[in-house]
């Protein structure tokens, strides 16, 4: 059985789910102090997939040197490696199996005293279940979507909104030169934080988020009235999960190997088509896609990731397991993983940032907020 009494000497670390800027900075933030405290650090490859399939390598100091600014993850990641929802293909048919015992076997065989799991909502759900099976887990919240209630911010979000903001700056020049409506579709899944923060910082005129189903006429009115006022262009920032009142989210594809099979995408194109057909204004759309997840983390994310990583190893050394590091105000604290996964953080109509955007004239695609 897993030993909770002796000193922590050997830890594992993995990155789960979609990649995002700052993962390597967390790995470095965990490994450097771990080495300084005489701990051995094992890097588990490709997220939980590596834990189930036994893919591991030791991380030495040289491996975590010079990776602070590097995007992606040196460990690899996967969003299909849920040990409790393990897809296997038989005769072209996907069967879902429970491989959690294999994950526990490897954890014990590698003699790990703790596992640092870096990931989003999905990773934290898996972590909680593995923790219930006896693994000593410390979670670190990652996601460009920023949709974890338990932390004021996840790392990766700031880098994503920097990309959105810069992209909108670029779209502005074509929008104003050609007097066009430019629609930009951004990520975020079921939460509108990327659209709200990226759209506001880029100066979008309309921001559509999943939490506020929009009215088509409100969008047409906004872009036409701007045109009539002599502002002959508009920028519309659409979250991939945005949907019209009474309508559904636009699903691009389904991947049954994933715990959540839905792949969103396509609403930007639909919004652009409808604006063009209903207002007569020349309209173009851009889907920003994975550009939002790639590249080097912003200084804010490098700092947050480092603070998260160093706090996570401190928790592991102190044997405060089953906890996830979290930003609360300006301090790094920790919360129970089981509490962290109980609530998704969504944009609401009274949020100060949304109200500030509205006060400077941004439309959320509704006649009244």
Active site residues: 145
Q: Which is nearer to ligand F6P, 11 or 191 (CB)?
A: 191
Q: Which is nearer to ligand F6P, 144 or 237 (CB)?
A: 144
For the chain, report the end-to-end CA distance as a whole number of angstroms: 55
Q: Do 180 and 211 contact (CB within 8 A), yes or no?
A: no
String of contacts with ligand F6P for each residue 298-337, x by CB under 6 A = ----------------------------------------
Q: Which is nearer to ligand F6P, 17 or 29 (CB)?
A: 17
Q: Compute the distance between CA of residue 316 and CA of residue 336 in angstroms, rounded to an integer.
A: 14
49 part of the interface to ligand F6P, by CB under 6 A: no
Minimum gap (Å) between residue 240 Cβ and ligand F6P: 6
Listed in sequence order, the residues at least 6 apart from 167 whose beta carbon sits closer than 8 Å to its beta carbon are: 184, 202, 286, 288, 291
18 part of the interface to ligand F6P, by CB under 6 A: yes
Minimum gap (Å) between residue 189 Cβ and ligand F6P: 4
Minimum gap (Å) between residue 198 Cβ and ligand F6P: 12
Alpha carbon separation from 50 to 102, 112, 127, 313 (Å, rounded): 11, 14, 14, 21
195 part of the interface to ligand F6P, by CB under 6 A: no
Alpha carbon separation from 21 to 4, 65, 190, 234 (Å, rounded): 33, 16, 20, 30
Q: Do 83 and 126 contact (CB within 8 A), yes or no?
A: yes
Minimum gap (Å) between residue 294 Cβ and ligand F6P: 11
Binding segment for ligand F6P among 104-112, 139-147, 174-182, 345-353 (CB under 6 A)?
139-147
Among 115, 144, 148, 325, binds ligand F6P (CB under 6 A): 144
Cα–Cα nearest to 123, from 251, 253, 260: 260
Q: Do 151 and 326 contact (CB within 8 A), yes or no?
A: yes
Binding segment for ligand F6P among 104-112, 143-151, 277-285, 302-310 (CB under 6 A)?
143-151
Among 263, 276, 278, 358, binds ligand F6P (CB under 6 A): 263
Q: Compute the distance between CA of residue 259 and CA of residue 181 in angstroms, rounded to an integer.
A: 37
Q: Which is nearer to ligand F6P, 210 or 309 (CB)?
A: 210
264 part of the interface to ligand F6P, by CB under 6 A: yes
Q: Compute the distance between CA of residue 63 and CA of residue 309 in angstroms, rounded to an integer.
A: 16
Among 143, 165, 279, 305, binds ligand F6P (CB under 6 A): 143
Q: How many residues bind ligand F6P (CB under 6 A)?
A: 13
Minimum gap (Å) between residue 121 Cβ and ligand F6P: 8
Among 46, 49, 113, 145, binds ligand F6P (CB under 6 A): 145
Please state the three-class secondary structure of 64-116 as a single string.
Answer: HCCCCCCCCCCCCCCCCCCCCCEEEEECCEEEEECCHHHHHHHHHHCCCCEEE
Q: Under the rule (CB under 6 A), what is the footprint of ligand F6P?
A: 18, 79, 120, 143-145, 187-189, 240, 263-264, 293
């Amino acid at each position: 059985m897993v030993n909770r009494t002796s000193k922590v000497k050997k830890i594992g670390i993995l990155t789960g789910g979609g990649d995002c800027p700052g993962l390597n900075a967390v790995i470095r933030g965990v490994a450097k102090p771990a080495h300084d405290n005489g701990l051995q650090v094992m890097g588990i490859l490709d997220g939980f997939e590596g834990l189930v399939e036994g893919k591991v390598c030791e991380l030495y100091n040289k491996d975590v040197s010079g990776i602070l600014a590097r995007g992606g993850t040196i460990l690899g990641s996967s969003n299909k490696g849920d040990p409790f929802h393990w897809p296997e293909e038989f005769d072209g048919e996907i069967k879902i199996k429970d491989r959690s015992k294999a994950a526990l076997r490897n954890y014990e065989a590698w003699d790990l005293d703790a596992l640092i799991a870096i990931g989003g909502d999905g990773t934290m759900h898996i972590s909680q279940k593995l923790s219930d099976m006896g693994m000593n887990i410390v979670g670190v919240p990652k996601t460009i979507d920023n949709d974890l209630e338990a932390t004021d911010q996840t790392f990766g979000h700031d880098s994503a909104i920097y990309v959105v903001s810069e992209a909108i700056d670029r779209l502005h020049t074509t929008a104003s030169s050609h007097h066009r409506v430019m629609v930009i579709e951004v990520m975020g899944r079921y939460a509108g934080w990327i659209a709200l923060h990226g759209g506001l910082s880029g100066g979008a005129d309309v921001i559509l988020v999943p939490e506020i189903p929009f009215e088509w006429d409100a969008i047409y009115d906004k872009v036409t009235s701007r045109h009539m006022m002599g502002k002959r262009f508009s920028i519309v920032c659409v979250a991939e999960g945005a949907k019209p009142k009474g309508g559904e989210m636009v699903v691009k594809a389904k991947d049954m190997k994933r715990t959540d099979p839905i792949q969103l995408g396509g609403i930007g194109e639909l919004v652009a088509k409808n604006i063009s057909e209903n207002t007569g204004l020349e309209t173009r759309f851009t889907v920003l896609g994975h550009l939002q997840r790639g590249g080097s983390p912003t200084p804010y994310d490098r700092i947050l990731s480092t603070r998260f990583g160093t706090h996570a190893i401190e928790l592991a050394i102190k044997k405060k397991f089953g906890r996830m590091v979290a930003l609360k105000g300006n301090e790094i604290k920790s919360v129970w993983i089981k509490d962290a996964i109980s609530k998704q953080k969504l944009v609401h109509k009274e949020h100060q940032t949304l109200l500030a955007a509205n006060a400077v004239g941004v439309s959320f695609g509704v006649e009244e907020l």
